[in-house]
């Protein structure tokens, strides 16, 4: 059927949705089963019309003014004779919720075979385009919001995963005496709607929401008995999606991440501005390329020869740092004459404030004219150790494997400084601010292609080109772990939504969907984010299988008990060791008070035996017999530091290193160094942290941090293994 014509007809009649009959014909055109039906104008037409239908049938009112037909008394089911249909139609016409409304007619349709009611819907996300939703009907959707979303197009695996995500899924399989229903039939409908060649991908943008409520699923069939296609308000602007630029992304951004010529706009010849500070930092950080201060009149700025415009520098500019009043920026860029590759606009006062929206447009136009790409505006800068560029004062000089994108400048600084303390090393960190031109997707594309980057971390509040973002992550196919710290994830609900699906499609849902579909890991807090990045930086991801079994080993009984609960809650098991392992540990004749089940709880006295070398024997038994996927060793430092002359920590770390050498690739090893917070313990902790990091062991503050990091690893491995 011609959907464009159907939409035009509905709009022409002043409607904001397609009528049910048209909606069902659309579904049918995609191969979805709908009941055989006829539309009648009134009681007198019933007899001729229902001749071709098989009883029992259902009669429903059709009216653009009635949203929920049942609530208005406009649905009568189980009509088993012509007389019953007549009676139903006559009664409906007189029902209080219907009488006096504009009625198009009555839909008479065959009853679907009895089964479980499922709701399927579509909501057009402003960033990601069509999302598909599935949930169990009735209270499951309406009260419990037990639904799963995915970004279209979905694969068969996505569709099956959506069903697994539902809390009420057991009902489909026959729990509580229900007849089991066909999961395959639901997956089939999900694909016919949300798959690559499905209806949703083909729908014009002005269909904003779809509700199929319900789809009745039995043992072997699925029938869509209600369909609602909601139109976007007329004249609504389609979201402009930017397209991927062709070519090698690693090459495209080389001049940004390793610039040989840096221009600085906004440095003063007499005072100290942000730009002067930037020049100072670059010099201290060891940048050895050319720095060109741009100044309208001065000859020398910060001891460097200055130039009046970007067009007059000795060599073309790879990276230009701009921190002057917002109003001056467009003109400066317009005069660049194609000699600037990348300009990072630090200045604020653009699209982030209502009066700056026009200026941001002018900025973009000027950059295009001047031939350069823009980062920002309203950001803090770039940290790229490979190019010796930095904006935070204290940033590690070494190049590492973690590439970060941050939509917030302040948080970007935190990520570098706090990450540094944890031992995270970066391949780069770029703050993208308002993302007027280059945004999170461009930088993601770079890091995914960049050979130095092994892990990507992103702080994002929104992506202007969600579809491209999604495609990039999908194409990555979990080759590189991507950790996303999403700002603004709380469920706001869509106040204006006209369907169930729309009302349930809060901002959080699409990110959860993204994570399910691409294997990216979502972090809730800055700490979780950094802890996960550290794990991905240091640990070697396991192929073909997700980390599940964990052995805990350390001092502190209550601590182990609490940790066990926490690990379980994050999908990791700390199961008691088998007999063989326990016998092996028994044979070590550990002092009384040592618990050997898993968690292995060893008092300080035990750990100090043989100056800590006892740990190696314990670990050896665990690695040889129990063979867990991960070992987490936790030490309460206050019990060691300053207690006696024996400091066994070095030996404990050495034991861990030796195990990793003896059983390569067998288990992830994480160390938790718990501090009391007192200055001497803190100092000791930092020393041990560095020692552990130097041999590739990630160190965490608490067991809960280690659990969250390990569950991120497990999720990533599980996604990759399931592909
Ligand atoms: P509304 O959602 O507008 O109230 P529906 O068309 O969804 O109206 O019908 C209400 C309920 O009636 C459905 O949830 C379903 O339980 C039942 N129903 C409607 N049509 C059929 C049908 N063809 N076969 C079986 N049950 C039906
Ligand atoms: Mg309905």
* Helix/strand/coil (H/E/C) assignment for every residue in 612-642: HCHHHHHHHHHHHHHCCCEEEEEEEHHHCCC
Q: Give the nearest ligand 1 atom to 214 CA.
A: 14
Please say if the pLDDT value at position 13 is more than 70. yes
Q: Which atom of ligand 1 is nearest to the CA of 37?
A: 23
Give 178's pLDDT tier (boundaries 50, 70, 90): confident
Per-residue model confidence (pLDDT) at position 314 = 98
End-to-end CA distance of the chain: 36
pLDDT tens for residues 127-152? 899 999 999 988 888 778 899 999 99
**How many angstroms separate the alpha carbon of residue 359 from the centre of ligand 1?**
53
Determine the Cα–Cα distance for residues 349 and 383; give it in Å rounded to an integer: 23
Distance 68 CA to ligand 2 centre (A): 7
Nearest CA to ligand 1 atom 10: 70
Q: Ligand 1 atom 2: the closest Cα is on which residue?
A: 68
78 CA to centre of ligand 1 in angstroms: 11
pLDDT band at 56 (very low <50, low <70, confident <90, very high): very high
pTM, full prediction: 0.92
- In this predicted structure, the answer to whether residue 495 has a pLDDT above a threshold of 50 is no
CA of 159 to the centre of ligand 2 (A): 22
The one-character DSSP state at 253 is: T
* Residue with CA closest to ligand 1 atom 13: 214
> Which residue's CA is the closest to the ligand 1 atom numbered 22?
111
Closest ligand 1 atom to residue 35 Cα is 23
Distance of CA 30 to the CA centre of its chain: 30
Return all residues near 562 (Cβ < 8 A) that are at least 6 apart: 703
Residue 499 reports pLDDT greater than 80 = no
pLDDT level of residue 646 (50, 70, 90 thresholds): low
Per-residue pLDDT of 240-269, as tens digits, reads 545 555 578 999 999 999 999 999 999 999
> How many A from CA of 75 to the centre of ligand 1?
7
Ligand showing the shortest atom-to-Cα distance for residue 61 = 1
Q: Which pLDDT score is estimated for 652?
A: 86
Count CB neighbours of 475 within 10 A: 12
Q: Which of 37, 77, 98, 211 to mutate to test the pocket of ligand 1 (most atoms within 8 A of CB)?
A: 77
For residue 192, how far is its CA from the centre of ligand 2 (angstroms)? Answer: 20
Please report which helix (H) or strand (E) contains residue 349, including its range.
none
Lookup: tokens for 392: 């935070």
Cα(34) to ligand 2 centroid in Å equals: 13
Reported as a pLDDT band with limits 50, 70 and 90, residue 9 is very high
Q: Which of the residue ranges 269-273, 556-560, 603-607 has the most confident prediction, judged by mean pLDDT?
A: 269-273
Contact of 710 with 536, CB cutoff 8 Å: no
3-class secondary structure, 207: strand
Nearest CA to ligand 1 atom 5: 226
Rounded Cα distance between 338 and 322, Å, is 16
The pLDDT of residue 186 is above 60? yes
Q: How far apart are CA 303 and CA 294, in angstroms?
A: 13
Provide the pLDDT confidence category of residue 496 given band limits of 50, 70 and 90: very low
Q: How confident is the model at residue 238 (pLDDT cuts 50, 70, 90)?
A: low
Q: Which residues of 310-348 are buried (b: 16+ CB within 10 A; e: fewer)?
A: bbebeebbbbbbbbbebeebbebbbbbeebbbbbbbbbb
Residue pair 513/159 in contact (Cβ under 8 Å)? The answer is no
Whether the predicted pLDDT of 704 surpasses 80: yes
In the reported structure, the alpha carbon of residue 214 is separated from the centroid of ligand 2 by a whole-number distance in angstroms of 6
Measured from the alpha carbon of residue 73, the closest ligand is 1
Q: Rounded to whole angstroms, how far apart are CA atoms 308 and 332?
A: 10
What is the distance in A from the centroid of ligand 1 to the CA of 226? 6
Q: Are 231 and 203 in contact (CB under 8 A)?
A: no
User: pLDDT confidence of 494, banded at 50, 70, 90?
Assistant: very low
The preferred substitution site among 75, 117, 135 for testing ligand 1, maximizing ligand atoms within 8 Å of CB, is: 75
Nearest CA residue ID for atom 20, ligand 1:
225
609-633 mean pLDDT: 92
Q: 268 C-alpha vs ligand 2 centroid, how far in Å? A: 67
3-state SS string for 408-426: CHHHHHHHHHHHHHHCCCE
Which residues are close to ligand 2, an ion, with C-beta < 5 A?
213, 226
Helix or strand (DSSP H, E) at 604? helix 604-607
Specify the pLDDT at position 156. Answer: 96
Tell me, in angstroms, the distance from the centre of ligand 1 to residue 77's CA: 8
The pLDDT, as a whole number, for residue 489 is: 61
Question: How far is residue 367's CA from residue 374's CA, in Å, rounded to a whole number?
Answer: 7
Ligand in closest contact with the CA of 67: 1
**CA distances for 431 relative to 324, 379, 380, 391, 626, angstroms:** 18, 6, 6, 10, 45
* Burial (CB count within 10 angstroms: exposed 0-12, middle 13-18, buried 19+), residue 398: exposed
Is 70 exceeded by the pLDDT of residue 368? yes
- Index of the ligand 1 atom closest to the CA of residue 20: 6
> Of all residues in the chain, what percent carry a pLDDT higher than 90?
78
Indicate whether 462 pLDDT > 50: yes
d(CA 668, CA 620): 14
- Whole-number Å distance, alpha carbon 220 to ligand 2 midpoint, is 21
Mean pLDDT of all residues in 657-666: 92
User: Which ligand has its closest atom nearest to the C-alpha of 116?
Assistant: 1
Residue where the block lists tokens 């590759």: 341
Ligand nearest to the CA of 53: 1
Instruction: With a cut of 80, say whether residue 354 has pLDDT above it.
Output: yes
Q: Find the residues whose C-beta lies inside 6 A of ligand 1.
A: 35, 58, 60, 68-70, 75, 77, 109, 111-112, 117, 213-214, 216, 225-226
Backbone angles phi, psi at 107, to 5 degrees: -95, 120
Residue 244 or 126, more confident: 126
State how beta strands 75-79 and 105-110 pair: unpaired
Res 177 pLDDT > 90? no
CA distance 574 to 560: 10
Q: Is the pLDDT of residue 34 over 70?
A: yes
Instruction: Quote the mean pLDDT of the chain.
Output: 92
What does the pLDDT read at residue 176? Answer: 79
* Ligand positioned closest to the Cα atom of 72: 1
Of the residues 115, 225, 227, 229, which should be mutated to test ligand 1's pocket, given the most ligand atoms within 8 Å of the CB? 225
What is the 213 CA–ligand 2 centroid distance (Å)? 4
Question: For residues 667 and 710, what is the distance between their CA atoms, to the nearest angstrom?
Answer: 12
Mean pLDDT of 491-511: 63
Which ligand has the minimum distance to the alpha carbon of residue 75?
A: 1
Query: Quick one: pLDDT band at residue 536, thresholds 50, 70, 90?
Result: very high
What DSSP character marks residue 556?
Answer: -
Gap between the Cα atoms of 114 and 223, Å rounded: 10
Q: Where does 95-239 have alpha helices with state H?
A: 139-142, 156-165, 169-172, 183-194, 199-202
Q: Give the max Cα distance, the chain.
A: 102
Q: Which of ligand 1's atoms lies nearest the C-alpha of 70?
A: 4
Dihedral sign from CA coordinates of 40, 43, 49, 54:
positive
Distance, C-alpha 371 to centroid of its chain: 33
Residue 260 φ/ψ region, left for φ over 0, alpha for ψ in the -120 to 50 degree band, beta for the rest: alpha
Structure tokens at 689: 């942290």
Let me know if 304 is exposed, middle or buried by CB neighbors in 10 A (0-12, 13-18, 19+): middle
Over residues 196-215, the pLDDT tens digits come to 999 999 999 999 999 999 99
């Amino acid at each position: 059927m011609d959907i464009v014509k159907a939409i035009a007809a509905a709009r022409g009649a002043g409607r904001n949705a397609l009528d049910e009959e048209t909606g069902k014909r659309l579904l049918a055109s995609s191969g979805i089963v709908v009941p055989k039906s006829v539309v009648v104008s009134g009681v007198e037409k019933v007899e001729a019309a229902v001749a071709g239908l098989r009883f029992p049938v259902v009669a429903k009112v059709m009216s653009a003014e009635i949203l929920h037909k049942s609530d208005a008394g406009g649905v009568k089911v189980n009509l088993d004779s012509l007389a019953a249909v007549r009676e139903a139609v006559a009664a409906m016409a007189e029902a209080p919720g219907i009488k006096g409304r504009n009625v198009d007619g009555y839909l008479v349709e065959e009853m679907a075979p009895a089964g479980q009611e499922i709701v399927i819907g579509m909501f057009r996300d402003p960033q990601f385009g069509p999302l598909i939703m599935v949930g169990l009907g009735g209270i499951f959707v309406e009260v419990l919001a037990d639904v799963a979303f995915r970004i279209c197009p979905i694969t068969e695996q996505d569709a099956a995963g959506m069903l697994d995500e539902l809390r009420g899924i057991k009902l489909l399989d026959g729990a509580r005496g229900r007849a089991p229903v066909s999961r395959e039939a639901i997956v089939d409908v999900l694909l016919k709607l949300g798959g690559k060649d499905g209806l949703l991908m083909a729908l014009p943008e002005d269909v904003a929401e779809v509700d199929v409520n319900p789809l009745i699923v039995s043992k072997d069939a699925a029938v869509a008995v209600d369909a609602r296609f909601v139109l976007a308000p007329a004249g609504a602007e389609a979201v402009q999606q930017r397209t991927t630029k062709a070519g090698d992304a690693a090459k495209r951004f080389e001049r940004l991440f390793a610039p040989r010529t840096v221009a600085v706009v906004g440095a003063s010849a007499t005072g100290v501005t942000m730009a002067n500070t930037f020049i100072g930092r670059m010099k201290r950080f060891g940048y050895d390329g050319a720095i060109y201060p741009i100044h309208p009149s001065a000859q020398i700025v910060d001891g460097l020869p200055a130039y009046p415009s970007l067009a007059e520098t000795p060599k073309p500019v790879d990276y230009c740092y701009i921190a002057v009043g917002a109003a001056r920026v467009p003109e400066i860029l317009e005069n660049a004459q194609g000699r600037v590759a990348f300009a990072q606009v630090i200045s604020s006062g653009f699209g982030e404030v209502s009066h700056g929206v026009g200026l941001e447009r002018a900025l973009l136009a000027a950059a295009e004219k001047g031939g350069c790409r823009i980062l920002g505006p309203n950001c803090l800068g770039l940290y790229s150790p490979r190019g010796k560029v930095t904006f935070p004062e204290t940033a590690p000089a070494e190049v590492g494997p973690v590439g970060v994108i941050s939509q917030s400048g302040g948080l970007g600084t935190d990520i570098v400084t706090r990450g540094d303390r944890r031992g995270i090393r970066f391949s780069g960190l770029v703050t993208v601010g308002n993302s007027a031109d280059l945004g999170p997707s461009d930088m993601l594309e770079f890091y995914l292609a960049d050979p130095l980057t092994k892990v990507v971390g992103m702080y994002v509040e929104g992506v202007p080109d969600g579809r491209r973002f999604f495609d990039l992550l999908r194409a990555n196919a979990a080759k590189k772990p991507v950790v996303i710290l999403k700002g603004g994830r709380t469920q706001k609900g869509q106040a204006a939504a006209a369907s169930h699906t729309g009302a349930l499609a809060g901002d959080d849902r699409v990110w959860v969907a993204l994570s399910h579909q691409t294997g990216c890991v979502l972090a809730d807090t800055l700490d979780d984010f950094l802890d996960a990045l550290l794990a991905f930086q240091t640990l070697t991801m396991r192929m073909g299988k997700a980390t599940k079994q964990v052995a805990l080993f350390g001092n502190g009984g209550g601590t182990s008990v609490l940790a066990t609960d926490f690990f379980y809650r994050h999908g990791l098991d700390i199961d008691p060791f088998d007999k063989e392992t326990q016998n092996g540990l028994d044979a070590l004749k550990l002092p009384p008070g040592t618990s050997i089940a898993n968690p292995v709880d060893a008092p300080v006295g035990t750990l100090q035996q043989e100056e800590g070398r006892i740990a190696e024997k314990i670990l050896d038994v665990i690695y040889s017999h129990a063979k867990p996927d991960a070992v987490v060793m936790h030490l309460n430092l206050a019990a060691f530091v300053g207690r006696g002359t024996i400091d066994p920590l070095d030996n404990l770390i050495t034991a861990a290193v030796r195990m990793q050498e003896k059983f390569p690739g067998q288990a992830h090893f994480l160390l938790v160094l718990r501090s009391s917070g007192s200055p001497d313990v803190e100092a000791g902790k930092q020393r041990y942290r560095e020692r552990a990091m130097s041999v590739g062991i990630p160190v965490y503050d608490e067991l809960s941090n280690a659990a969250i990091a390990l569950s991120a690893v497990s999720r990533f491995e599980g996604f990759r293994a399931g592909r």
